[in-house]
A and B are shown apart, each in its own frame.
Chain A
Amino acid sequence: GQNIDQPTEMTATEGAIVQINCTYQTSGFNGLFWYQQHAGEAPTFLSYNVLDGLEEKGRFSSFLSRSKGYSYLLLKELQMKDSASYLCAVRDSNYQLIWGAGTKLIIKP
C-alpha cells in the first residue's frame, strides 16, 4: 500500500529552528510537496522536490532523499504566524497526490 508518515504534533519557540520529517512508501515517485494549512483554511503550496538535495526558499527549506524515501521541511526564524499544520504529499506513478495526515506545529513565545 501507499503510506506517508509525519509526526502528529511538534512544539517550537519563536525565533528558533524546527525540522518536520516525512517518510513515504508509494507506488512510483513524481515529486514531493509541502503545503501549509492554517486552522480552518485551505492548504497553500510551500515547496516541491523531485531531485535529491535541498531546496531553499526564504525561511523555508525542503530536503529530499529518494533512496531513503525521506524528506524534511526546515523552518528558520520561527514566527507566531508559522503556527499551522504542514502537509507532506507525494505524487505517485499515476500523477495523483498521496497526502500525509499533517504535522501540527505550535509556536510558543
Chain B
Amino acid sequence: NAGVTQTPKFRILKIGQSMTLQCTQDMNHNYMYWYRQDPGMGLKLIYYSVGAGITDKGEVPNGYNVSRSTTEDFPLRLELAAPSQTSVYFCASSYSEESYEQYFGPGTRLTVT
C-alpha cells in the first residue's frame, strides 16, 4: 500500500492564481482531512470528509474548496491564491472518527508571492 499520497510536493503561485492540491489514499478509509501547518503553529483543519459525496468545513475553510467524488480522492482547491495561504498542506485519512490514528501524506509546501 502506498498509504496517503499528495501532489505536488512544492509549488510557487502568484497572487490571484488558482491550483488544486491532489490527495489519494489506498487504505479504503472513509474519513479524509486537509490541514495546514504554519511555522510555530499547530495543525489547523481546513476541510474534512466522512465519505464520498460528503464534505464539511473545519476551523479555517475560507479561501478553499474541496470535493469527494470517490473514496480514494480528496482534492483541495485554492481559487484566488493570497500570501496568507503560504503554508505546508497535509492530507490525512482514517478509517473512522473514533480511529486511534490518522495517516498523513508527505505534504505540499506552497508559497504565494
Contacts and interface: CB of A to CB of B under 8 A. Distances in A.
Interface residues of B, number: 20
Contacts of A99: 42-44
A107 B100 CA distance: 28
Q: Is the interface of B mostly helix, strand, loop or mixed?
A: loop
B42 A102 contact: yes
B41 interface: yes
A43 B41 contact: no
Nearest to B106: A42
A71 B41 CA distance: 19
Contacts, number: 44
B73 to A, nearest CB: 18
Interface string B22-49: 0000000000000000001111110010
Interface residues of A, number: 21
B102 interface: yes
A43 B101 contact: no
Contacts of B58: 96
15 contacts: A4-B42, A8-B40, A33-B100, A41-B106, A42-B90, A42-B104, A42-B105, A43-B104, A45-B100, A45-B101, A89-B43, A96-B58, A97-B45, A100-B42, A101-B40
